A and B are shown apart, each in its own frame.
Chain A
Amino acid sequence: MIYSILRQHQKLASKRHPMFERNRYAKLITAIAIGIGLVYLILIGLFLPIILHAVRPNGEASRLFNQGMPYLLMLDFYLRFLFQKIPVQEIKPYILLPIPRRQLIHFFMLRSGSGFHNLFWFALLIPFAFSAILTHQGISGVIGFLAGYWVLFLVNNYWYLLCRTLINERLVFIFLPLVFYGTFIAIEILFPGNKLNTLTLNIGEGFISWNPLCWAVPLILLLSLYLTDFYIQRHYAGKELAKSDSTRLRHVSEYSFLDRWGETGEYIRLEIRLRIRNKAVRNQFRTGIICMLAFSILLSFSNIYDTGFMKNFICVYNFAVLGVITLVQIMNVEGNYLDGLISRKESVLSLLKAKYYFNIMLLIIPLVLCIPAIWTGKITVLTAITCLFMTSGPIYALLFQLAVYNHKTFPLDSQITGKNAGGNSFQSLLTGFIFLIPILLNDLFCWIWGEIAGQLILLMLGIILTLTHPWWLQNIYRRFMKRRYVNLDGFRNTR
């Protein structure tokens, strides 16, 4: 009974959300993209046995596939990180009702386990199983293979929930999945001829032949992870709801050097304090910095992405990732106190200017971080400068457009139980667009005019849009003011 009511609430929450209309179009485009992805996976699943047979004529395709199991799980985990929400973000409205808290958490966790997202890879697995396993091991082998992988994806699901909850609480827990999956890669690189492949091969083969021992291991793991997850999520949800923070600040910095910038300086000061004093915003910012560092390290010290497209991609990512992570939610944070801001003249324009200058200042970090890559000749100075201006120009100009359309308040301080801690499909779509367009333009221009001329054109485009920022910020402000009633209404409804 209670489960069906909660399920109904989930549907209503999505349907009655202020972003529903916009999300509907974004979801349609996302659905088309996923549809194309699924078709690709089906085709890969059909042709993979033939490819694997060509690579190793003596080996069975399923055996080779099972050897690659950790990489599939790694990819699955990464995709979850991009798209999947943690369930206890939705627990808050029910916490004071006479429903046992454990029952609530069980509901949200079971719903997460029974979701269709855990079957995503079946688009690849089903055609693969029928073309590679059916002839050798029959239908029971196919079912065993599919069921076994489903259990593994469920394990990954609860492992993800555990990691994500802990990371939301303390960013240091990001090392948990990094170390776990990093160990696989390290073993593969450092110990050629290791037995890891054999282990995963045996597990996969055990699924196909319904070996009880091979089934027992992932099932015990699944149960243990579910229970650990349950206690962790219950602990943190309770802790956050009971939180009463009355601590005094030990040190209050005035950032007096910003005084000379007048009203814009005052808003830059506000931006700094926003990032320092609010847990959710601070973690978002730290995640951006960590991503930026990771891409800089990849760019400077690794040669795994040294192809032209990937190098450009990593270079653009290096500069843009922090801005994308923080600016995609632009104005959502201010939704908490926008009534107060907007009742003061042109304060939103000053806020937008401050946000732009603050993000421009932060671009010094990736510029410094890519010096080793320039030094070692992996990228040219022109590439680095082009990426910098492409970020400060077109990418920021695009991201700032969201200031007109975002109208969902982002919780400042709560992590686990915040109503709108996650993004929406519209923002995800724009993020994807932002990353692809500069790279596609770069490839197009380089193809037409050659590498240097192509990059110079992009640089010019970047400089023009950077220099014209007062104009496009003013334009965004005017459009924001035209939509102010809709936005204010949305912010109030989602506070």
Chain B
Amino acid sequence: MHITICHLKKTFGSKTAIDMESYSIQPGEIVGLVGNNGAGKTTLFRLMLDLLRADRGTVELDGVDVSRSEEWKRHTGAYIDSSFLIDYLTPKEYFHFIGKMYGMDKETTNEQLKPFERFMNGEIIEERKLIRNFSAGNQQKIGIIAAMIHHPKLLILDEPFNFLDPSSQSLIKHLLQDYNKHTGATILISSHNLNHTTDICRRIALLEKGIILRDLINEDHSAEQELDNYFNVKE
């Protein structure tokens, strides 16, 4: 999916959260957003998903302004935080519910869950436990899987490595790379973990106070040094 951002601005009171003149992401790219707290990563995702009103400017997905149509929602998957989860359902019920929203029956949904079996580590799908009773890490896994279950053309994940154990962090990296390779989907992730971001993203946008400070091409970890220089505070 092709993403075009034009003259996008969002302020909260006197604070500018996002101020982007123009930014474009090509179909099939894996883009990482990095930046310190308050840089505007989550705000940008919310604007892309039409969960926030922009003060001015547009986000277009395949040429469609997200605030003027709902058609793009069929081809988009996202997980921002636990407010995306219906926590009084069991994970299985939740996946079936999400599946139904995209026109899938239970059998198809179960089939779509198979690639995630290792990621779920036998702790999620067979449990007769409500989502709210799972650990933060397992809730994160449920949210990520629900975002990917219908094979979206655009996948947006905010801090996907948060709360996950090291094995699961490694697994999700491989899952995302495989998913991108096999479906050609555009993937956007934000993270504070620079190693993971440089491992999987071929392009990295460095955000500061809502502005894209650097748009880095990351071939063979080439962006690592520049990010290191930016984030490492010297006395």
Contacts and interface: CB of A to CB of B under 8 A. Distances in A.
Contacts of B74: 345
A249 B51 contact: no
B83 A278 contact: no
Nearest to A342: B51
Interface-centre pick from A245, A250, A263, A340 (highest chain B CB count, 10 A): A340
B127 interface: yes
A107 B88 CA distance: 34
B224 interface: no
A494 to B, nearest CB: 12
Contacts of A346: 70
Contacts of A247: 129, 133
A492 B53 CA distance: 14
B106 to A, nearest CB: 9
Contacts of B76: 343
Interface in A475-495: 484-485, 488-489, 492, 495
B100 A263 contact: yes
A343 B73 contact: yes
Contacts of A347: 101
Interface in B126-162: 127-130, 132-133
Contacts of A277: 88, 130
A339 B127 contact: no
Contacts of B85: 337, 340
Interface in A253-271: 262-263, 266, 269-270
B163 interface: no
B129 A345 contact: no
B44 to A, nearest CB: 15
Interface residues of A, number: 35
Contact of A488 (B51, B87, B93): B51
Interface in B70-92: 70-71, 73-74, 76, 78, 80-81, 83-90
B97 interface: yes
Nearest to A277: B88
Interface residues on B, range: 20 to 34
Interface string B34-52: 0000000000000001111
Contacts of A273: 88-89, 93
Contact of A343 (B52, B71, B78): B78
Nearest to B98: A344
A247 B70 CA distance: 39
Interface string B99-119: 011100000000000000000
Nearest to A249: B128
A235 interface: no
Contact of A485 (B52, B78, B80, B97): B52
A271 to B, nearest CB: 11
B207 to A, nearest CB: 21
26 contacts: A245-B132, A246-B129, A249-B130, A252-B128, A262-B100, A263-B101, A266-B97, A266-B100, A270-B89, A277-B130, A336-B87, A337-B83, A337-B86, A337-B87, A339-B51, A339-B81, A339-B83, A340-B84, A342-B51, A343-B84, A346-B70, A347-B101, A485-B52, A485-B53, A488-B52, A489-B52
